[in-house]
Amino acid sequence: MERVELTAEIPLDAQGERLDQVAARLFPDYSRSRLQGWIKSGELLLDGAAARTRDKVRPGQVITVGAEVEQVVSWEGQAIELDILYEDADIIVLNKPAGLVVHPAAGHADGTLVNALLHHAPEMASLPRGGIVHRLDRETSGVMVAARSLQAHHSLVAQLQERTVKRQYCAVVIGVMTGGATIDAPIGRHPKQRKKMSVVAIGGKPAVTHYRVERRFGHHTQVSVNLETGRTHQIRVHMAHKHYPLIGDPLYGGRPRIPAGASEELITALRGFPRQALHAQRLILEHPASGDILEFETDLPADIQTLLSVLELEDPVVAAY
């Protein structure tokens, strides 16, 4: 067992919501049923006092949790294959496959990228979060960097905070874009669906996404995306906010959208695509020790290449750049 101590202030946009609903938003690593149990047992308090799950909350109130929970995650090394692009004493740069969770958490106790890294380089166990300084969603593939030393960890975190790390993604979205643009819209937890993020007017964190059109198809667009910030689900949220959700993203795009008159090949490709069509293609950073500028680029994975090939044949290109 381990002791959990949590504290969070009720945000402005939660006025009048139920306590258990807001708690689920503020503490997404724990299920609503567990949070409801803590409320009923008095381990979750509102302004220091016991409350009921259905009690309405006000902005500025404080939720605190003090509870014993079973240890559910493993930060131990596991023999999981890694596609390493570069490594030295300070950093490891790798190509993460779709389907691999980055670090252990509730619901993903082990079998993660961190477990693989700790098996490959056990010294990373002494670093914050096992050397992870940024993350990719489970179903997003592509290049990412991890620290192998404390100096490198500090340097990479600072570079990310100063927005000097350049991250370029390939995305395939639903809809035909007229051109590139910048999306500057704050992102926060969805007010009602705790597993989702959304563009919010109050309480969100700054989020800036730049994108340009690479290829336009009859009903879809391949875009190149550059991030200034790194919010949870940022590209997926921003593209959906502009009404161009990613192919294969049920969380933000809903069911697959099949164009009228689509061929069987196109229908199969769209309905069968197993994940959001998003790949971290390029990463540029300053080496923490030498100061050299390093650039890493990965090929598009086979599933996205196949998807683009089907779109080119069955959803004919309108324009290419």
* HEC-encoded secondary structure of 142-204: EEEEEECCHHHHHHHHHHHHCCCCEEEEEEEEECCCCCCEEEECCEEECCCCCCCEEECCCCC
**Nearest CA-CA partner of 267 in 231, 305, 219, 235:** 219
Whether the Cβ atoms of residue 104 and residue 131 lie closer than 8 Å to each other = no
Give the range among 148-152, 178-182, 200-204, 223-227 with minimum mean pLDDT.
200-204
Please tell me whether residues 238 and 121 are part of one structural domain.
Answer: no
Q: What is the mean pLDDT of residues 83-104?
A: 95
Cβ–Cβ < 8 Å for 76, 42 = no
In this model, does residue 112 exceed pLDDT 60? yes
Percent of the chain scored above 90 by pLDDT? Answer: 75
**pLDDT reported for residue 122:** 94
Q: Within a domain: residue 77?
A: no
- Sequence letter at residue 149: S
Using an 8 Å Cβ cutoff, are 115 and 171 in contact? no
Q: What's the confidence (pLDDT) of residue 34?
A: 87
Provide the whole-model pTM.
Answer: 0.77
For the domain that residue 213 is a member of, what is the CATH number?
A: 3.30.2350.10
pLDDT at 318 over 60: no
Q: Is residue 248 part of a domain?
A: yes
Which active-site residues does the annotation give?
A: 137
pLDDT in the model for residue 321: 43
Mean pLDDT is lowest, of 115-119, 191-195, 202-206, 242-246, for 191-195
Task: Indicate whether 302 belongs to any domain.
Answer: yes
Q: Is residue 76 part of a domain?
A: no
**How confident is residue 33, by pLDDT bands cut at 50, 70 and 90?**
confident
Indicate whether 36 belongs to any domain.
Answer: yes
In the numeric block, the tokens 């950073």 are attached to 285
Higher-confidence position of 192 and 177: 177
Q: Is the pLDDT of residue 107 over 70?
A: no
How many folded domains does the chain comprise?
Answer: 3
Asked whether residue 172 falls in the same domain as residue 222, the answer is yes
Distance CA 116, CA 17 (A): 41
User: Could you tell me if 60 and 188 lie in one domain?
Assistant: no
Q: Give the least confident one: 193-197, 254-258, 279-283.
A: 193-197
User: Which structural domain range is residue 264 located in?
Assistant: 166-287+295-320
User: Within this chain, do residues 154 and 246 fall inside the same structural domain, yes or no?
Assistant: no
Beta strands in the chain (DSSP E): 2-9, 44-46, 62-69, 84-87, 91-96, 141-147, 166-174, 181-184, 187-189, 197-199, 208-216, 220-227, 278-286, 293-297, 319-320
Kindly state whether residues 46 and 90 are assigned to the same domain.
no
Are residues 155 and 195 part of one domain? no
Same domain for 22 and 142: no
For residue 34, what is the domain's CATH number? Answer: 3.10.290.10
Model confidence at 30, in pLDDT bands (50, 70, 90)? confident
| DSSP reduced 3-state for 67 | strand
| DSSP state letter for 281 | E
Q: State the pLDDT confidence band at 106, using cuts at 50, 70 and 90.
A: low
Pair (13, 102) in one structural domain = no
Please tell me whether residues 153 and 192 are part of one structural domain: no
Same domain, 281 and 183: yes
